[in-house]
C-alpha cells in the first residue's frame, strides 16, 4: 500500500491513477522543492510561486502540512505560513482574496518538509483516496480501505474460487474484494478530484478515462464472495455498505460465530480479528486466537487464510504454522498480514 506518490507525467495517466488505483491514498504534483531551514524561507519561497495559475477569483483552498526530522517542527504552523504566502502573493499580484475552506477546498496544497527540505505540491486527488464513499457506517475498529485493498491484492485472489471473511465488521475486505473482481473504479463515488482545479485540466480526456474504466465493470457471479460476523449490527452495516456497490447484493452476509460456520474448504479466507488496542483489553483474546486457529485447521481444509493481526503479539496464540508474514503499518498500528496454508 502506498501512502502517496509524486507524479509528473501525462494527464491521462494522472486521471487513471486517481480514478482507479486502489492502493494509493493521494497523488501529488510537485510545484517546487527547496532547502527550508526556517519559516521565513518557507514564506518567501512560497510567495514566488505563480499561484494565479491555480486560482480563479472564487477558488477556495486549504493546506495539508507534514513535517519530519527538521528544524521547523510544527506541521500546522508550517501549513499556516504557506497559506499566508499564497494569500499575500495573490493579493499583491492580482488583487484576489482566496478563501480558505478546510472541509471542501477546490485546491488542496500539500507541504512536506523532511530533513529541512520542503516540497510544495498540489494534491491532484483532492484529499485521501481511501475515502471511497461506499462506507455509510462502520464498526468500532474498521480497516482502512487501502489496507483492505492491499490485502486482497496480496492474496492473489482472482475470483476462480470463493472468498470468505468470517468476521467482516463493516465489510471493508468484502467491498474491496467486490471492487477488485468487478473492476469497479475506486473513485467511482468521488464527486471531485484535485486535478480538476489544475490549469491544464482537460475535461474531455477525463471523461474518456471514466467512460473506459466504467465500461469494464462486470457482474459478480453468485456464491463468489461471502462473509459473516458475530454481531448483528456488523452484518447490517456490511450489507448497507455493499448495497451501494455494483453487484453488492450478490455478496451473502450472515450473522454467525466463526466457530459455528460450516466448512470453508478450497476458499480464500481473509480475516481481521479483534485485537487488544482497539477492541478493549477485557476480552480473552488469547483463547479467541486459539479457537480461530482450531477453526482454520479443522474446518478450512485446502483453503489459504490471510489473517491481519492488528497486534502481532497474537500471532503465536493461533497455533498454526505461517507460510509468510508481511508487515502492514497503518492507522497507528504495527500490524502483520500472515498467510496460513491449510491442508
Ligand atoms: C477488527 S473488527 C473487523 C473490522 C473489519 N475488517 C472492518 O473493516 O470493519 C473484528 C470483528 O470481529 C467480529 N467478531 C468478534 N468475535 C467474533 C466471533 N467469535 N465470530 C465472528 N466474528 C467475531 C467483531 O464483531 C468485529 O466486527
pTM for the structure as a whole: 0.92
Residue 145, classified by CB atoms within 10 Å of its CB into exposed (0-12), middle (13-18) or buried (19+), is: buried
Write out pLDDT tens, residues 2-40: 566 777 778 999 999 999 999 999 999 999 999 999 999
Give me the mean pLDDT over the 59-80 stretch: 95
Q: Which atom of ligand 1 is nearest to the CA of 143?
A: 8
What separation in Å is there between the alpha carbon of 166 and the centre of ligand 1?
8
**Enclosing domain of residue 101:** 27-123
pLDDT at 280 over 60: no
Question: Considering the domain boundaries, does residue 81 fall inside one?
Answer: yes
Our mutation pick for probing the ligand 1 site, out of 148, 261, 274, counting the most ligand atoms within 8 A of Cβ, is 274
> Are 68 and 114 a contacting pair, CB within 8 Å?
yes
pLDDT of residue 96: 86
The alpha carbon of 168 and the centre of ligand 1 are apart by a number of angstroms equal to 6
Residues with CB under 6 A from ligand 1: 138-139, 141-143, 166-167, 169-170, 172-173, 229-231, 234, 257-258, 272-274
pLDDT at 1: 44
User: Would you say residue 263 lies in a domain?
Assistant: yes
Average pLDDT of the chain, as a whole number: 93
Atom 7 of ligand 1: nearest residue by CA position: 142
Kindly give the distance from the C-alpha atom of residue 323 to the centroid of ligand 1, in angstroms, as a whole number. Answer: 23
Question: What is the distance between the alpha carbons of residues 297 and 286, in angstroms, rounded to a whole number?
Answer: 17
Ligand 1: nearest atom to the Cα of 165: 6
**SS3 state of residue 245:** coil
Question: In this structure, what CATH number is given to the domain that contains residue 69?
Answer: 3.30.2130.30
Please give the pLDDT value at position 171: 98
Q: Are residues 315 and 255 in the same domain?
A: yes
Number of structural domains (the chain) is 2
Residues 225-247 pLDDT 10s: 999 999 999 999 999 999 999 99
Percent of the chain with pLDDT over 70: 97
Instruction: Taking residues 65-82, report their average pLDDT.
Output: 96
Q: Report the alpha-carbon distance of residue 98 to residue 84 in Å, rounded.
A: 11
- State the pLDDT confidence band at 331, using cuts at 50, 70 and 90: confident
- Cα–Cα distance between 49 and 34 in angstroms, integer? 12
Judge residue 97's burial from the number of C-beta atoms within 10 Å of its C-beta, 0-12 exposed, 13-18 middle, 19 or more buried.
Answer: exposed
The mean pLDDT of 143-153, rounded to a whole number, is 96
Span from the CA of 167 to the centroid of ligand 1 (angstroms): 4
CATH number of the domain enclosing 281: 3.40.50.150
Provide CB contacts within 8 A for 247, sequence distance 6+.
178, 182, 219, 220
Q: How confident is the model at residue 277 (pLDDT cuts 50, 70, 90)?
A: low
Amino acid at each position: 500500500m502506498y501512502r502517496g506518490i509524486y507524479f509528473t507525467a501525462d494527464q491521462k495517466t494522472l486521471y487513471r491513477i486517481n480514478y482507479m488505483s486502489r492502493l494509493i491514498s493521494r497523488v501529488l504534483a510537485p510545484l517546487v522543492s527547496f532547502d527550508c531551514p526556517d519559516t521565513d524561507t518557507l514564506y518567501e519561497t512560497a510567495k514566488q510561486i505563480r499561484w494565479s495559475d491555480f486560482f480563479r477569483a472564487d477558488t477556495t483552498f486549504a493546506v495539508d502540512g507534514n513535517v519530519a526530522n527538521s528544524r521547523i517542527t510544527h506541521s500546522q504552523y508550517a501549513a499556516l505560513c504557506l497559506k499566508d504566502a499564497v494569500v499575500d502573493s495573490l493579493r499583491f499580484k492580482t488583487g484576489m482574496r482566496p478563501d480558505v475552506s478546510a472541509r471542501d477546498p477546490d485546491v488542496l496544497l500539500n507541504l512536506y518538509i523532511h530533513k529541512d527540505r520542503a516540497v510544495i505540491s498540489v494534491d491532484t486527488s483532492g484529499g485521501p483516496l481511501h475515502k471511497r464513499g461506499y462506507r455509510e457506517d462502520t464498526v468500532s475498529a474498521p480497516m482502512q480501505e487501502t489496507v483492505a485493498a492491499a490485502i486482497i491484492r496480496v492474496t492473489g485472489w482472482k475470483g476462480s474460487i470463493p472468498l470468505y471473511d468470517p468476521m467482516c465488521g463493516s465489510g471493508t475486505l468484502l467491498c474491496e474484494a467486490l471492487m477488485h473482481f468487478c473492476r469497479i473504479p475506486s473513485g467511482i463515488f468521488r464527486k471531485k478530484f484535485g486535478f480538476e482545479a489544475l490549469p491544464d485540466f482537460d475535461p474531455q480526456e477525463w471523461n474518456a478515462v471514466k467512460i473506459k474504466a466504467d465500461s469494464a465493470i462486470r457482474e459478480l457471479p453468485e456464491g463468489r464472495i461471502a462473509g459473516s460476523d458475530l454481531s448483528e449490527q456488523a452484518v447490517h452495516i456490511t450489507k448497507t455498505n455493499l448495497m451501494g456497490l455494483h453487484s453488492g447484493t450478490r455478496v451473502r452476509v450472515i450473522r454467525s460465530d466463526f466457530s459455528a460456520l460450516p466448512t470453508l474448504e478450497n476458499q480464500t479466507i481473509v480475516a481481521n480479528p479483534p485485537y487488544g488496542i482497539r477492541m478493549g483489553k477485557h476480552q480473552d483474546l488469547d483463547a479467541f486466537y486459539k479457537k480461530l486457529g482450531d477453526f482454520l485447521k479443522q474446518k478450512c481444509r485446502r483453503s489459504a487464510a490471510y489473517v491481519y493481526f492488528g497486534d502481532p503479539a497474537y500471532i503465536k496464540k493461533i497455533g498454526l504454522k505461517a507460510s509468510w508474514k508481511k508487515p502492514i503499518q497503518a492507522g497507528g498500528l504495527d500490524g502483520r498480514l500472515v498467510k496460513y496454508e491449510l491442508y
